[in-house]
Structure formats: C-alpha cells, structure tokens
Structure 1
Amino acid sequence: MAADEKDDKETLADLDREASEYTKDAEISRILNTFKLDSYAILDLQPGVPESDIKIQFRKKSLLIHPDKTKNPLAPDAFDRLKKAQAELMDEKKRERLDEAIADARMLLIRERKWTVDHPDLKTAEFAKDWREKTKTVLIDNELRRRKQLKAQLAEEGREQRKAEMEAEERKRKRENEVAWENTRDDRINSWRDFQKGGQKKKKKKMQPLG
C-alpha cells in the first residue's frame, strides 16, 4: 500500500512537471508569435493599464519563461522580446506613441464603419479583435514611415559629412600648396637671379667684325 502511494505521488509530481513545462512552452510560443510592435500584446496586457500592472506582469511572465527556468531553446528569444516590451511601456514617450497608434486604429475603424463613438458594437469581442488587427496596420505604417524618415535623415547627414570632408580636403590641399610654394621661394629667387646674370653677360659680349 505504501509503495502504491509513493508511486502515485511520483506520478503526480511528473504530471505537474509536464504541465509546468507545457505552460512555459505555450507562453514562449505565444510571445514569439505575438505582433512584436505591440508591447501590450507581448505582455498580454490591455492598453492603458497603470505602470504597476506592467511591472507585476513582467515579473510574472519573466519568472515563467526565464531561460534559467526552462530547457526550451527558444526561451532566450522570448525573454528578450519580453524585456524589450516592458522597457518600451516603461518609457513614457514610447508608450505615448503606442497609445496614440492604438487610439488611431480605433477611430479609423469607427470612421470606416460610419459609427458613432457610443455605438454598442464597440464593446463586443469581435470589435476588440478587429481593433487589434487594425492596430497592427497602423503600427506597421508608423514604423515604415519612421524608417523612411531615418533613412532620409541618414542620407542627408551622409551628404553633409561628404561635403564637409571634401571642403576639409580642399583646405588641406590649399595649405600644402602654399607651404610647397613658400618652401621653393629661395630656389625660385636664385633661379631668377641666375637668369638675370646670364642675360647681362650676353649683352656685354662684343660683336666680332666680319671680313
């Protein structure tokens, strides 16, 4: 009887471990398959939650999927994405941009459907799903716009840098030419003097009479 109870306890312990690993694997998969520009979704939070909820949720999720707590080879990637999401939501400016994108997505849906802001369907699960999808579109558009602006900025900075480098090179060549000209000053003067002396000797030479 005692042996049977021991076997039952070991079986239950094994099942608990399997369930725990399954939960961890499921959460890792969820994080990695969540739209990475939506930090709320990565942390499985609703937009607009207080900062304290973000901290609590991050701690809860990180304890579950931390690479030291599971053998899942994808845990490091999932944990890294979780950390980035938490950092973005803790950054006031970044969180504000995300909140604006989410609000814009909601208003776009309302306008597209020609609803009023108090339309009853706004509270349905179906609208919440559509809102999440629309948020993805808005976030992608914002990210593409940001990258385009950054690319243009870098290109402009590159042009300015090349212009500055060319101007610096031109000033360098000018200085080198001035130095070279100054260094050959004595040679030029001596050469001119020698030329002058040679000319004077030729003038003093008497002409021999013919015949």
Structure 2
Amino acid sequence: MSGSASEHVAAPDSKTESELLAMLEKDGKEFDKDAEIERILGEFRLNGYAILDIQPGLPETQIKKIYRTKSLLIHPDKTSNPRAPDAFDRLAKAQQQLLDEKQRGKLDESIADARMLLIRERKLTVDDEEVKDPDDEFISAWRAKTVWVLMDEEKRRQRQMKAQMQEEGRAKKQEEEEMEQRKRKREFENNWEKTREGRIDSWRDFQKGGSKTGGVKKKAKLKTLG
C-alpha cells in the first residue's frame, strides 16, 4: 500500500516537470522567434540575401525552402511579437526579389561590386586565400560594403527619378502652355468667323452712307469769257 501511495505522490511531480519542460520549450521557441524578427529588421531592406541570411548562388528551390522555414517561425499568427508583421513582410519581399531574375541580377552585380571594392581597399587579389576562402570577418565587411553600394545606387536612382520628374514637369508645363495658345487661337478664329457677317454689313452700311451724301463732289467747270 505504501508503494501505491508513493506512486500516487510521484505523479503530480512528474506532471509538473512535464509542464515546465513544455513551458521552457515554448519560451525557447518564442526567444528564437523574437531573435529572428530582430535580425530580419536589422538587415538592410534592399538586400534579400541578408534578410534570408543566405549567400548568393543558391538555387530557387533552396531559397523557397529557407523562406518557408523562416516564414513559419515568425508568422504573425504564431507569435505575439508586435514587430512580426513588419519582419514577415520584409521576408516575403526578400523572396520576391531573389525569385525575380532581373532584380536578383541587379543585386548580384551590386554584391560583386562591393566585393571588388573591398578587395581593392585591402590591397588583395582574387587569388588570395582571404578572398577565396573568406572568414566571418571578411564576410561581415563584405556585407557592410554591399549595404554602402546599395545605398549609393538607391540615392543615384532617386536623383535620376527626381530629375526625370522635373523634366516631365517642364515638358508638361510647356505642353499645357501650347494647348492654351492653341485654345486661344481657336477662340479668336471662332469669334472672328462669328462676327464676319456683322463686319461685312457694317462695311456695306458705311459705303451706302457715303453714296447718299454724294460722295466726292466734282469741281465746277469755269465759263470761258469772250
């Protein structure tokens, strides 16, 4: 009977331990979610590779797989973190960027440019071991240089867009002025045509008035004397 009582007492302790383990596991998952959300939001938004935490060169199937894993981890419906929706949106845009051939190509060019700039700054060559087998420090510096390149390109793009908008604004203003000139010309021609008969009648009346008064008098002939 004592053995039975002992077993009966041990059951609640076992259940409590199981609950604690479940809570710890849940807290651990929440910590992982929060950490991943903060990591995503801390990456440069124009670099899809950094947001997905992958290196260039992965096939699309692998990109989709990694995206799915991370999207399930930080899904707004699966966590109470208020920043989850923003991180989830950035993650989705990162996948779209890398699955779009044109966008991914531009990003790859920027990353390659950043690599060459870093190599030149460090006075290295592509054959150096530091470049061929980069360590974490080199990769971190490479990623930072990529951010600089992307920001520089974005600023240049915005300047070009601003200049284009200004040029379009000038062209639009010129077009509007030309349209206004054509409108005034049409109105003038329409008004001129509408008053044409009136002008003709006025001219005829003027001519008739001149004939009633005799017009220009002829000089009287002088009688010759003798």
Q: TM-score, normalised by structure 2?
A: 0.85
Taking the aligned partners of 1:166 and 1:68, their CA distance within structure 2 comes to 56
Indicate the structure whose relative CO is greater, using CA pairs within 8 Å and at least 6 residues apart: 1
**Match for residue 181 of structure 2 among 137, 160, 170:** 170
Kept in 2: contact 1:40–1:46 (CA 8 A) = yes
Structure 1 residues 41-80: aligned runs within 5 Å:
41-80=50-89
Taking the aligned partners of 2:139 and 2:184, their CA distance within structure 1 comes to 66
Deviates more, 1:3-12 or 1:94-103: 3-12
Aligned residues: 206
Structure 1 residues 103-118: aligned runs within 5 Å:
103-118=112-127
Q: For residues 111-169 of structure 1, what are the alpha-carbon distances to aligned partners after superposition, in whole Å with 9 as ceiling and x for unaligned?
A: 22221211122222221121111111111111111111121222222222222222222
Secondary structure in structure 1 of the residue aligned to 2:62: helix
Kept in 2: contact 1:27–1:65 (CA 8 A) = yes
Q: TM-score, normalised by structure 1?
A: 0.91
Distance of aligned partners of 1:171 and 1:205 in 2 relative to their CA distance in 1, 3 Å threshold? closer
Q: For residues 155-188 of structure 1, what are the alpha-carbon distances to aligned partners after superposition, in whole Å with 9 as ceiling and x for unaligned?
A: 2222222222222222122111111111111111
Taking the aligned partners of 2:208 and 2:154, their CA distance within structure 1 comes to 79
The amino acid across from 1:81 in the alignment is R
Secondary structure in structure 1 of the residue aligned to 2:26: helix
* Aligned CA-pair RMSD: 1.7
Taking the aligned partners of 2:112 and 2:84, their CA distance within structure 1 comes to 32
Secondary structure in structure 2 of the residue aligned to 1:203: coil
**Match for residue 184 of structure 1 among 184, 190, 195:** 195
Kindly indicate whether residue 138 of structure 2 is the aligned counterpart of residue 151 of structure 1. Answer: no
Kindly indicate whether residue 25 of structure 2 is the aligned counterpart of residue 19 of structure 1. Answer: no
Kindly indicate whether residue 48 of structure 2 is the aligned counterpart of residue 39 of structure 1. Answer: yes
Structure 1 residues 96-135: aligned runs within 5 Å:
96-122=105-131, 123-135=134-146
Q: For residues 28-63 of structure 1, what are the alpha-carbon distances to aligned partners after superposition, in whole Å with 9 as ceiling and x for unaligned?
A: 111111111211000111112111111111111111
Structure 2: 5+ residue stretches without partners: 1-9, 218-226
Kept in 2: contact 1:48–1:99 (CA 8 A) = no
The amino acid across from 1:36 in the alignment is R
Deviates more, 1:190-199 or 1:64-73: 190-199
Deviates more, 1:10-19 or 1:195-204: 195-204
Structure 1: 5+ residue stretches without partners: 207-211
The amino acid across from 1:13 in the alignment is A
Using the TM superposition, give the Cα deviation of residue 204 of structure 1 relative to its aligned residue in structure 2, in angstroms: 6.3
Aligned to 1:209: none
Kindly indicate whether residue 214 of structure 2 is the aligned counterpart of residue 203 of structure 1. Answer: yes
Taking the aligned partners of 1:90 and 1:151, their CA distance within structure 2 comes to 29
